[in-house]
Structure 1
Amino acid sequence: MGEILNPERILHVEDLQDSRLDEYLRLSEAHLRMRTDVENGLYIAESTKVVQRAINAGHVPRSFLLAEKHLGQLTEEFNRFPTAPIFVGDDRQLEDLVGFHLHRGAMAAMNRPEPLDLNNVLENSSRIAILEDIADHTNLGAIIRSASGLGIDAVLLTPKCVDPWYRRSARVSMGTVFDLPWVRLESWPDDMAKLKDHGYELLAMELTDDAVALNEVQINPGQKIAMILGNEGRGVTQEALDTVDRTVIIPMHREVDSLNVGAASAIAFWHLCSAPR
């Protein structure tokens, strides 16, 4: 604990206008953070577990922000990055700064790693999830957690999909977003041609006249599959449906039309990943 308590490392929050704290301002305003965070090459990891998982994945913190009572939870991380300042404040100060009650231990401003190469990801995968314009950060985090836990190799995001490294998405994913490869596509749906070039069969989960039940989809060993999951409101766009090989549905009972995209994704991923590869 000696190094952690070094007064040169621990900086007590006194002035909320301190420019060194700018990266933590207005964290509750997602529509502002999505653009500025990406432009500034950073994201905010929220909760001690998420901070630890991000660092263990090789991501580098710029600074830490936490209540003093949580200092002991990140001893190892502080020591691994001795030049990253540690900002400490009381609960009221931190809430005034970030815009909500910080009750999950700690935060860290992290450097965004360089994006992965799409062709390399496609070459080294066989089960891909494509998330088309997912708008809710909680849904995105839940989908990524299911994808990681059930064996999806990588996730592709369309240009309008929300940021998987936004603090709420990362927190709901339990930090699995740092371990699961993902790539943001540049042109949609044109980029689907690249998946076909790599030998993927393209499926879309959408209620159409010719949709087949998911449990009737046979997957052969060595087959490469990509599944498109659409926006929470409108589903998969017609432009994407015009390009896929098949549409699939989860058979429902009691006149229930469909499941939330997070729940549907877990069922789809289990089916895709339980088949021999």
Structure 2
Amino acid sequence: MTQVIDVVDPTDPRLADYVALRDSSLRKHLETERGLFIAEGEKVIRRAIESGYRPRSFMLAPRWLDSLRDLLHEAPVYRVSEATAEAVSGFHVHRGALASLHRETRHTATGLLGFRRLMVCEDIVDHTNVGAILRNAAGLGWDGVLLAPRCADPLYRRAIKTSMGAVFSLPWARLDDWATAVPTLRASGFTVVALALADDAVELDAVAASLGEQVRVAVLLGTEGAGLSRRWIEQADVVATIPMRAGIDSLNVAAASAIAGYVLR
């Protein structure tokens, strides 16, 4: 039975899971400490719960009670005005629907090494880029995403929203050790393709043509500013580049992941 509780005070402690959602450093501490993450908007909330994540609570504007009612039997529902939701969260909440859910570790880096196609992210710190890469990987049929230890959190609200819920369905895991990641991939049978600018880089189409259908591929994607580290580039089997024109030397890492994901699929 749905438990709907009207809350008007933005300082009510029952809404503590939803405080200051735009403060990424505060949220990182709070969400890790409490073992939770936040889903925003009806579609994302629905995808999270249908993927098996257990809700802690919901903070909803009244108009969302009917459309989400089939999901609201497992946790308290805090019915708030949009003004109260904004006061709690620190921004205008997307369509007035938020849910707090229990975090889970669903996959390990070791487990993902049994897959055929992996995207591997090195120190990508922008949450929207991480979310977009997960969405691209899922949409283009890749099996999973590995994240270096310093990458942004895929379960942070903005990453979830950008991924359109792909973060809930596509397997992903954090690498245990940045330094040994590429040798571990190669030892596990992957052909490791570093996407980077380098004098000896091969055009992406040529790399794809050289790979047989049965080859297992891991494509390395570097951080937003400097790109891949020299260590990862040197440890890869091949360095690939996307040919550019008009004096532009590179693309945003999320866009590059989409192109590489399509060409190397």
TM superposition score category, shorter chain reference: over 0.9
Tell me how far apart the structure 2 counterparts of residues 67 and 149 of structure 1 sit (CA, whole Å).
31
Tell me how far apart the structure 2 counterparts of residues 40 and 192 of structure 1 sit (CA, whole Å).
33
In angstroms, what is the RMSD of aligned CA positions? 1.3
Q: Residues 109-133 of structure 1, C-alpha deviation per residue, up to 9 Å, x if partnerless?
A: 110112412222211x100000111
1:8-19 mapped onto 2 (5 Å cutoff)? 9-19=3-13
What's the secondary structure of 2:112's corresponding residue? Answer: helix
User: Once the 2 structures are TM-superposed, how far is the Cα of residue 165 of structure 1 from its aligned partner?
Assistant: 0.7
**Corresponding position of 2:245:** 253
**Corresponding position of 2:36:** 42
Runs (5+) with no aligned partner, structure 1: none
TM-score (norm 1): 0.91
What's the secondary structure of 1:17's corresponding residue? Answer: coil
Q: Residue 165 in 1 paired to residue 155 in 2?
A: yes
Tell me how far apart the structure 2 counterparts of residues 102 and 266 of structure 1 sit (CA, whole Å).
29
**Corresponding position of 1:122:** 113
Out of 13, 22, 31, the position equivalent to 2:16 is 22
Runs (5+) with no aligned partner, structure 2: none
- AA aligned to 2:223 is N
Tell me how far apart the structure 2 counterparts of residues 17 and 105 of structure 1 sit (CA, whole Å).
18
Tell me how far apart the structure 2 counterparts of residues 115 and 35 of structure 1 sit (CA, whole Å).
21
Tell me how far apart the structure 1 counterparts of residues 53 and 252 of structure 2 sit (CA, whole Å).
32
Aligned residues: 263
Fraction of identical pairs, as percent: 43
**Corresponding position of 1:184:** 174
Tell me how far apart the structure 1 counterparts of residues 30 and 175 of structure 2 sit (CA, whole Å).
19
Out of 86, 93, 103, the position equivalent to 2:84 is 93
- AA aligned to 1:136 is D
Tell me how far apart the structure 1 counterparts of residues 18 and 229 of structure 2 sit (CA, whole Å).
36
User: Once the 2 structures are TM-superposed, how far is the Cα of residue 62 of structure 1 from its aligned partner?
Assistant: 0.5
**Corresponding position of 2:193:** 203
User: Once the 2 structures are TM-superposed, how far is the Cα of residue 16 of structure 1 from its aligned partner?
Assistant: 2.3
Q: Residue 103 in 1 paired to residue 99 in 2?
A: no
Is the 2:146–2:174 contact (alpha carbons within 8 Å) kept by the matching residues of 1? yes
Q: Residue 267 in 1 paired to residue 259 in 2?
A: yes
User: Once the 2 structures are TM-superposed, how far is the Cα of residue 13 of structure 1 from its aligned partner?
Assistant: 1.6
1:195-234 mapped onto 2 (5 Å cutoff)? 195-217=185-207, 218-234=210-226
Q: Which runs of 4+ in 1 moved over 6 A?
A: none
- AA aligned to 1:252 is M
Tell me how far apart the structure 1 counterparts of residues 30 and 17 of structure 2 sit (CA, whole Å).
10
User: Aligned pair in 2 of structure 1 residues 78, 33: CA closer, same or farther (>3 Å)?
Assistant: same
User: Once the 2 structures are TM-superposed, how far is the Cα of residue 57 of structure 1 from its aligned partner?
Assistant: 0.8
Q: Residue 150 in 1 paired to residue 134 in 2?
A: no
Is the 1:141–1:169 contact (alpha carbons within 8 Å) kept by the matching residues of 2? yes
Tell me how far apart the structure 2 counterparts of residues 158 and 35 of structure 1 sit (CA, whole Å).
19
Q: Residues 244-269 of structure 1, C-alpha deviation per residue, up to 9 Å, x if partnerless?
A: 11111000112211111111110000
**Corresponding position of 2:48:** 54
Tell me how far apart the structure 2 counterparts of residues 270 and 131 of structure 1 sit (CA, whole Å).
17
Tell me how far apart the structure 1 counterparts of residues 66 and 129 of structure 2 sit (CA, whole Å).
32
Q: Residues 42-84 of structure 1, C-alpha deviation per residue, up to 9 Å, x if partnerless?
A: 11011111110011111100001111111112111113x2xx0
TM-score (norm 2): 0.95
- AA aligned to 1:50 is V
- AA aligned to 1:17 is T
Is the 1:48–1:105 contact (alpha carbons within 8 Å) kept by the matching residues of 2? no
Tell me how far apart the structure 1 counterparts of residues 130 and 95 of structure 2 sit (CA, whole Å).
20
Tell me how far apart the structure 1 counterparts of residues 136 and 109 of structure 2 sit (CA, whole Å).
21
